[in-house]
Amino acid sequence: MSELHSDDQPSSHPNDRAVIRLRPKSKPQAIRHGFPWVFADEAVLDRRTKALPPGGLAVLEDAERQPLGLVTVNPVSKIIARVMDTDPNAVIDGAWLRARLTRALQMRERIYDEPFYRLVHAEADGLPGLVIDRFGDAAVIQPNAAWADGMAEEIADALIDVAGVTTVVLNGQGRSRSLEGLTERLEVIRGTTPDAPVQVRMNGATYLADLMGGQKTGLFFDQRPNHAFTQRLVGGGSVLDVFSHVGGFGLAALAAGAESALCVDGSAPALELARGGAAAMGASDRLQTQQSDAFDALEALAEQGRTFDVVVCDPPAFAPSKPALEKGLRAYERIAKMAAPLVAPGGYLVLCSCSHAADLTALRNVSARGIGRGGRRGVLIHTGQAGPDHPTLPQLAETGYLKALFFRLD
């Protein structure tokens, strides 16, 4: 068990805690104003702190030894400390977890009529490095920080107490974990293994989420408001959904009365789930799927002279980090160039990015350039972002990662 939850271990008592101190040139104001991280080159570690296991606790102090809060430390990560609580005397136990989860749940229950949403969005919900998506009576947790991985059992129990879920899946996969020195793991830690995909209702559409074998947690809740805005553009027309995953935009369009939707994705299992969602909606006759590389599909559709009233491109993160930014922006421009000719005159092109490193201005610029290189002109009518179950921490730009640009093309 992690030492974070146990009151009777020495490291849980404030007076016995290790200390991590900011270097004199570091700015404590950022932490005091809500920035949640300390990078390795900003800190001085004492002997006891260096000896902490990843996920151990320490008191964060400024250069003048004034306490700034309680942090969890991971000496193997570039983010050496994550702020857990502004109270340096806080005890991180089941009661603390339940309080944070209750606060997160109250907001989601006020906004959403049904229990399908991101319940915890890491730092923005005061649970650094922890993501929890809820699928009715089941929840999938992604512990992407060492403290959360070590406290997974306690998190699951608190989740059951607060939200009333009966199944908790731990999905410990992805790049974020490797940066924390964590190994991959996928297991059901409470309840029974789901024997079928979960039906999720959003915007009048039905999606199938594979909680054990799908991407990330099984479904992308973040695009919900952008699905809804796309529904307003459909007008009974035809829709092309590229990088569709389980049919995110395509099924939303069918629910809004689209005449047809073509979903293109490289994953056969994802497209099978899209077809299952369409069947659950009674819309199988209006859905077509194509397993293909997205760029190959765009090229082939252009050669066939196909056009659609709405074209959506929602690719994976082409620029997941700053070193990948230049290459990623070229890929976003190429997508825009290839997709633009497929939009019928007066139709709409939706271009999305989930890249942390590509900011809105850069994405808007390369998208407009790509549309122009594709021989089209248009106006930007709407800019979307993730839904309110993915709150943005103003001090941390990374929490506002999702951008969706809606263009009307001549």
Q: Taking phi first (over 0 means left), then psi (-120 to 50 degrees means alpha), and beta for anything else, what does residue 24 get?
A: alpha
CA distance 295 to 276: 25
Q: Is 313 a catalytic residue?
A: no
Question: Is there a contact between 28 and 62 (Cβ–Cβ < 8 Å)?
Answer: yes
β-bridge partners, 59:
19, 70
3-state secondary structure 295-361: HHHHHHHHHCCCCEEEEEECCCCCCCCHHHHHHHHHHHHHHHHHHHHHEEEEEEEEEEECCCCCCHH
Exposed/middle/buried for residue 408 (C-beta within 10 Å: 0-12, 13-18, 19+): middle
Distance, CA of 404 to chain centre: 14
Distance, CA of 7 to chain centre: 33
The one catalytic residue in 263, 313, 352, 354 is 354
Helical pair 152-163 and 94-111, crossing angle rounded to 10 deg: 50
Overall size of the chain counted in residues:
410
When computed from its CA atoms, the radius of gyration of the chain, rounded to whole angstroms, is 23
| 80: helix, strand or coil | strand
Q: Which of 336, 317, 310 is nearest to 250 (CA)?
A: 310
Helical pair 325-339 and 360-373, crossing angle rounded to 10 deg: 40
Tokens 């296991």 correspond to what residue?
A: 53
Exposed/middle/buried for residue 193 (C-beta within 10 Å: 0-12, 13-18, 19+): exposed
Question: Is there a contact between 319 and 327 (Cβ–Cβ < 8 Å)?
Answer: yes
Positions marked active-site:
354
